[in-house]
């Protein structure tokens, strides 16, 4: 693999990359989240079509030529350059932070173009900037090229958007109108940079559904640092193979229906739930090693939310890392046409289970409360039973395993 320095450029075909290529970005801060984005720009270097900003609030361009998979401190941008319209001449990859941190505080990071090029980054490369233009893939003389940029930028995500000529929505997005039947390109919409991060235990937010509508397909995503442990060397390497072990975090929930009936949805015991029928909650698969960059997803049927009283979202360490601090875990609750709600699994200890958030039906509103409450089982009760009792779910338990 070739290592690029700041300002170095190369043609994709000469680097051994085709029109389908992934751009991997890793950029972490010890105590803050970095928002990673891709701006699709026109020949004038402007975001003339806001649908080509791909980030946490818009995970793909209209035709899917640019898609992003996000995880804590990292992103993979999946590119299909041949599917991009001719109006898009440049894809610019950026990182931005909020709060008191600056780019000088970032841990060593990198931008990687497929398996061809890596561009290393370090906090010493920057000063007090709140954002950075990392790299770009651009079209020149009929061929696509990759450029390592690493340019610090004053201001955060909003300033980047303004720099590229985009338009920020003043508030959370309203429900989008129905797409026209004729194949007419829709007018560019304003970008909503809204994201709600529940900072402290007990912090909560209420979301309202549009009049006459339900909440739609609610996604609860758990993602985490997939391999935080360093590879071992020497004698330990002989015992373990020298490879870092992946983490198996399991996303799950306890629920209570409006009629008082409780239940659980989790991979343990193959209790996957059902999206279209009671309990209107479904766990979509089980990532046993952290190898799936999209993490684990729980879906709640928001159009049947009136039949649900509350949902306790929790996770437990089934295998791997012995403490939560090393996972850098984050749960994101995404409700259509609402800003995503983010809960980070901070202040972690060595307990195997974490009650992450409570999702409640409060008079028809969807309320999310940050819990981040770590618990352990004991000789008399499993961690699941302790958690159920603590939060008032009247459930019976028996030993189970994943099939």
pLDDT, tens only, 146-176:
999 999 888 888 889 999 998 787 544 444 4
Residues 176-188: what's their mean pLDDT? 47
Q: What distance in Å separates the CA atoms of residue 39 and residue 50, rounded to the nearest whole number?
A: 9
pTM as predicted? 0.74
Tell me the C-alpha to C-alpha distance, in Å, between residue 298 and each of 227, 314, 392: 22, 11, 21
Tell me the C-alpha to C-alpha distance, in Å, between residue 172 and each of 34, 195, 338, 364, 389: 20, 9, 6, 19, 37
In eight-state DSSP terms, residue 245 is: P
Confidence of residue 24 (pLDDT cuts 50, 70, 90): very high
Q: What distance in Å separates the CA atoms of residue 346 and residue 364, rounded to the nearest whole number?
A: 30
Secondary structure class of 370 (helix, strand, coil): strand
Q: Percent of the chain beyond pLDDT 90?
A: 53
Q: Is residue 322 pLDDT above 80, yes or no?
A: no
The tally of CA atoms less than 13 A away on the side-chain side of residue 177 is 6
């Amino acid at each position: 693999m070739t290592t690029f320095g700041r300002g170095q450029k190369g043609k994709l075909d000469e680097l051994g990359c085709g029109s389908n290529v992934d751009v991997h970005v890793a950029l972490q801060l010890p105590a803050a989240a970095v928002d990673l984005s891709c701006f699709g720009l026109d020949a004038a270097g402007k975001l003339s079509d806001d649908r080509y900003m791909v980030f946490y609030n818009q995970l793909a361009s209209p035709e899917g030529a640019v898609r992003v998979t996000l995880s804590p401190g990292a992103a993979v941008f999946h590119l299909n350059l041949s599917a991009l319209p001719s109006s898009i001449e440049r894809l610019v990859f950026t990182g931005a932070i909020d709060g008191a941190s600056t780019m000088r505080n970032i841990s060593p990071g990198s931008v990687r173009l497929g398996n061809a090029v890596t561009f290393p980054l370090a906090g010493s490369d920057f000063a007090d900037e709140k954002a950075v233009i990392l790299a770009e893939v651009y079209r020149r003389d009929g061929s696509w090229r990759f450029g390592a940029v690493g340019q610090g930028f004053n201001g955060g995500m909003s300033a980047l958007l303004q720099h590229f000529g985009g338009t920020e929505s003043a508030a959370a997005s309203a429900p989008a109108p129905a797409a026209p039947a004729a194949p007419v390109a829709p007018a560019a919409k304003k970008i909503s940079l809204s994201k709600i991060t529940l900072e402290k235990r007990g912090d909560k937010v209420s979301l309202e559904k549009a009049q006459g509508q339900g909440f739609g397909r609610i996604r609860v995503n758990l993602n985490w640092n997939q391999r935080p442990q360093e590879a071992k060397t020497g004698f330990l390497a002989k015992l373990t193979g020298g490879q870092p072990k992946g983490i198996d975090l399991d996303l799950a929930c306890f629920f209570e229906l409006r009629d008082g009936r409780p239940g659980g949805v989790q991979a343990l015991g193959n209790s996957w739930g059902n999206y279209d029928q009671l309990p209107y909650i479904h766990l979509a698969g089980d990532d046993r090693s952290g190898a799936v960059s999209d993490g684990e997803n729980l879906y709640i049927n928001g159009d049947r939310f009136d039949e649900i009283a509350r949902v306790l979202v929790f996770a437990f360490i089934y295998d791997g890392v012995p403490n939560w601090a090393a996972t850098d875990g984050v749960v994101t609750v995404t409700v259509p046409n609402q800003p995503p709600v983010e809960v980070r699994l901070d202040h972690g200890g060595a307990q195997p289970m974490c009650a992450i958030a409570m999702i409640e039906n409060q008079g028809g509103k969807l309320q999310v409360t940050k819990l981040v409450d770590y618990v352990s089982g004991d000789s008399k009760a499993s961690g699941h039973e302790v958690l159920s009792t603590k939060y008032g779910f009247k459930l019976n338990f028996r030993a189970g395993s994943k099939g």
